Amino acid sequence: MPVDSTHPEYDASDKAWSRARVVIAGEDAVKRAGVRYLRRLEEQSDDEYAAYKSRAAFFNATARTADGFVGMIFRRAPFLRLPGASLSAGQALAAFVRDVDMRGTTLFSYAKHVVTEVIAVGRAGTLVDWEDEVEDRVYLSAYAAENILNWRVERVNGRNVVTLVVLREEVEAARAGAGPAAADADEFEAEPVEQIRVLRLGRSRRENGAGQRRVCECEVEIWRRDDGGNRRPSRRNWRLVATRSPRRRGRPLPALPFVFHGPGHSRPAVDKLPLADLIAVNLDHYRLDADYKHGIHFTALPTAWVSGFDKNASLRIGSSTAWVTETAGATAGFLEFTGQGLTTFERAMDRDERLMAVLGSRLLAAQKKGVGETSDTIELRSSGENSILSALALSVGESLTQALRWACWWNSTEEIPEQIGEDQVWVRLNTDFSTQGLAADQLAAVVAAWQAGALQDAALQEILRKGEMLPDGLSAPDAAKAGGGVRPGEKVNA
């Protein structure tokens, strides 16, 4: 098998990913796809099909819904826990979250990118690597679903472990000049070079005090196309150009430093696209709109007809001209559409728009409060959609935590990344999509419990933040200090 062979789940999902990318890209991308999403009518010429397609309008409910989901999750900044600044790992991570990929991307922006990918196609990946040539630091590399070509999970030491990940990459190289010398390379123009990165987990046996034990070691291979001067290289023409064994503190990595992101889990298995149903209805709406506009184009304007006039006569329509004939019994009139055919299209499009509003968690329809409907009722009505979005936020938060633990492990002394627990590092994305704050009586009860010592500072901070009473990044004790507040056990004068 060639190195760019794809996993069966990749092959089964590739079309769905491509469809999602095109739909989210918008009308121009959908129309460029042509007959892929809008079939020709019978016996339509190229010009007729081009006119048929141009009359249609693509209402991009999918992109609007995806943007709304991302906005709801990042209505509040992600919550982070990092090692203390007194530790070397804490200092390194404090700098790391301000630039996670050596391109100036903050952890907040990187998390937003990952969530956007997961909402769009249900999958993304993160490689956690160490740059040891210039900056000597850990960094993240993001991979789209289409670039995670292959993977393998095996049972190792009683656990399911990812033992193979194949990634497609594009790197820039200076365009070669006309001369044979390397000096002829054009430093001002770069061309993309496709390469494949293979992460492989090798296994060996080593002696220790208790006998032999099985040890896993990460190995990395870089493959590039070898066209041999052929402009159309074979799919199998790949050449191994580099092999290395990443090491941390002189020891090989015990696992593959790659993290999968998905809407329901962080395992390698491909999950369903969160917006798959919405995308299907969105494309159906586009096709209905094309037929509706096609019908309007040919039936909306009345069409003149005559009988008994000279066939070679030029008859103009307008108040300044008259149609005159000497033929007895000649007549004229207009043909007008009076049937219900177009109304059927209107009803079908209205139905699709209602379906998209439901599938898009009502982000496409106004949230109007009915007569006698309380705010709690509205919250209950939307809790089903919020639970789906909450599950996605929890899943991506968990996978981002894994990536952050790898980054911490590169800078710490623990033997394996799993030894870095939640007491040191975690990332949590917002799962509270309600716009309701704490009511006055609820706030009074919470503060009273905190003053009595029944609530710890961390619990108070979480409650106030969820109730939108505390700015992100400010702790409850800091807020109390800044506002002259009270500490637990202190009395408040009435």
Q: For 201-222, write each residue's pLDDT tens digit.
A: 987 655 454 555 567 889 999 9
* Predicted TM-score of the model (pTM): 0.77
Looking at residue 182, its pLDDT comes to: 52
What integer pLDDT is reported at residue 456 of this predicted model? 76
Sequence ranges of the domains in the chain: 301-336, 437-494
Cα separation values, 391 from 120, 270, 428, 430, Å: 15, 16, 12, 11
* Residue 492: per-residue pLDDT: 35
pLDDT computed for residue 374 by the predictor? 53
Residue 167's nearest CA partner among 128, 202, 115, 120 is 128
256-300: per-residue pLDDT in tens? 999 999 999 999 999 999 999 889 989 988 888 888 788 777 776
pLDDT less than 70: residues of the chain = 173-187, 204-214, 227-236, 300-301, 336-342, 345, 352, 355, 358-386, 434-438, 465-494
